[in-house]
Amino acid sequence: MRTLLDEEAVDRGLRRIAGEIAERHAGAADLVLIGIRRGGVGIAEALARWMADLEQVAVAVGTVDITLYRDDAATALPNPRIGPSDIPCSLTGRDVVIVDDVVFTGRTVRAAIDAVFDYGRPRRIELCALLDRGGRELPIQPDYVARKVDVASDERVDVIATNGRLRAVVQPLTAPSIPPPT
């Protein structure tokens, strides 16, 4: 197991991103952060906390479950666990930032964009990820990212929560998976 971002680096990265989002969406009145279940939910909440701390802005946070929107829903789901989506408001006319822990092939993000559209027609959708590990299969790029790294295809990136703080590690694909932070 190799550490990509320790707790300090995660905090620094999220703090910087929180500042960037606040700057680009002055006031954040129309802004909604939407975490992709399950890995993106904790990150979206952390970002909202930083935005409250640093910029004194209260930003709406929601979650979206993309299982029903996957491009492989019909073939590759031996035992799917679908969770609830929780969108706090209509997204019509709002600025949405989709938040995930790691952006990889881009397929999850594609599904999340489709899901978001079923809650209304946002004015703009942006993408934020803690880590960009490359390997894209779709024309999708994050607008905000804490760190860009190349990770081999036989490795996996996990974001682990300890005492409410996050760190990102790389391990072999075969290692037992760690439940994402909630």
Partner 1 sequence: MSSRHLLSIRDLTSEDAITLLDSASAFWELSRRSIKKAPTLRGKTIINLFFENSTRTRTSFELAGKRLSADVINISVQSSSAKKGESLRDTVATLDAMHPDVCVIRHGASGAPGFVAERVNAAVVNAGDGLHEHPTQALLDAFTIRQAKGDLEGLKIAICGDVAHSRVARSGTLLFQKLGASVRLAGPRTMLPPQPESLGAEVFDRIEPALEGADVVMMLRIQQERLAGTYFATLREYAREFGLNSTRLELAKRDAIVMHPGPLNRGIEINDDVADSDRAVILNQVEAGVAVRMAVLYRLAGGGEARL
Binding site for partner 1 (CB under 8 A): 65, 67-69, 73-85, 90, 114-115, 118-120
Distance in Å, CB of 33 to partner 1, minimum = 19
CB of 96 to partner 1, least distance (A): 15
The least CB distance from residue 113 to partner 1, in Å, is 12
In the complex, the smallest distance separating the C-beta of residue 67 from partner 1, rounded to whole angstroms, is 7
**Closer Cβ to partner 1, 13 or 39, answer by number:** 39
71 versus 137: smaller Cβ distance to partner 1: 71
DSSP conformational letter for 151: -
Q: CA–CA separation, 86 vs 33, rounded Å?
A: 12
* Residue closer to partner 1, measured from CB, 70 or 147: 70
Give the Cα separation of 182 and 177 in Å (integer). 15
Residue 1 or 82: the one with the smaller Cβ distance to partner 1 is 82
Q: Is the dihedral of CA 20, 21, 25, 26 positive or negative?
A: negative
Cβ proximity to partner 1, 54 vs 77, nearer residue? 77
Helix axes 39-55, 7-24, angle to 10 degrees: 70
Shortest Cβ distance from residue 97 to partner 1 (Å)? 21
Cβ atoms of 120 and 64 closer than 8 Å: no
Q: Which of 146, 130, 116, 143 is nearest to 41 (CA)?
A: 130
